[in-house]
Amino acid sequence: MLREFWNIVRVSFRKRFIVYYVVVWSLTLFGTFPSLIVKLVALSVFVAASVLFVPIFTSQFVSQLRQFLEHRHRVRRRVSSEIADLAERIGAPVKELGFVRGCTAYVRGKCLVLGIELLKRLTFDERQAVVAHELGHMKERHDIFRLILPFLFLVVPLYSWSKLSSPIFFTESLTQIAVTVMLNIALLAFVVMVTIPFNWYFEVRADRVAASLVGKENIISALMKLGAGKNLKEPSETHPSIAERVKLIEKLK
């Protein structure tokens, strides 16, 4: 049972997405229909889905927090001539190069960060492809869009749930606390759910930048090496599956 629960939390994107979907819509049903029976059924479904969602979100939050802490302790280096040249060709103003542990690559502001393990796995051309991908994010300001877009879409659930009504459970104050907790959980689930297509689109856009500058074969080779030992058909909340990314890259002219 615990292993299956762990698979839902960490392994299966489709199952996690169903959890997000059920959390959002069960609260919507709870707040929309005045029937007490419908409310009780929707509440039961919401609680069951939340039992899965909370550890899923907590796991992702801890992962992001760990990356943030590692970023603060990154080893800073001057931008190499190869990366500076690539950044100039792309039009991404890299001001700092950082190194952290693990197999990772990302940009924060104008800082490019590479993982030590990633550098060991890849050839020079493959590393350049990964760098070009990250610089593609930087050029198109994807980090800013990732922050802004979810808040624009929050208007929909906030309006829908603004008149959320609930029968009194035990006392009015306890009911208010329960409804507030439910709203926060549902809003978190909605934000995660609505950002997925944008995250995937940004990754595909960055792949195109890398493919156009360093060649399709290098970004594909890098993706395949980084996906070694993993399910290449399994997407995540932040990335489409490697198999899908490779397919889209191969279609580029």
pLDDT value at residue 180:
85
Calculate mean pLDDT across residues 225-236.
91
Residue type, 132: A
Calculate mean pLDDT across residues 221-247.
93
Calculate mean pLDDT across residues 93-101.
93
88, 98 Cβ separation under 8 angstroms: no
- Phi then psi dihedrals of residue 230, to 5 deg: -110, 165
Residue 8 predicted with pLDDT over 70: no
Calculate mean pLDDT across residues 202-217.
95
pLDDT value at residue 236:
94
Q: Which of 71, 70, 100, 95 is nearest to 83 (CA)?
A: 95
Tokens encoding 73: 């302790």
Q: Which of 4, 105, 60, 108 is nearest to 236 (CA)?
A: 60
pLDDT value at residue 7:
60
Place of tokens 């809003």: 187
pLDDT value at residue 4:
57
Q: Which of 236, 248, 245 is nearest to 12 (CA)?
A: 236
Helix (H) or strand (E) holding 185: helix 172-214
The pLDDT tens digits for 21-38 are 999 999 988 888 888 888
116, 202 Cβ separation under 8 angstroms: no
Calculate mean pLDDT across residues 91-107.
93
pLDDT value at residue 34:
81
The sign of the CA dihedral 127, 108, 243, 91 is negative
250 pLDDT tier (thresholds 50, 70, 90): very high
pTM: 0.89
Name the residue with higher pLDDT: 229 or 100: 100
Residue 126 predicted with pLDDT over 90: yes
Q: How far is residue 95's CA from residue 99's CA, in Å, rounded to a whole number?
A: 14
Place of tokens 């890398």: 210
Running DSSP on this structure, what letter comes out for residue 9?
I
pLDDT value at residue 174:
80
Running DSSP on this structure, what letter comes out for residue 79?
P
Task: Name residues whose C-beta falls within 8 Å of residue 33's C-beta, 6 or more positions apart in sequence.
Answer: 39, 42
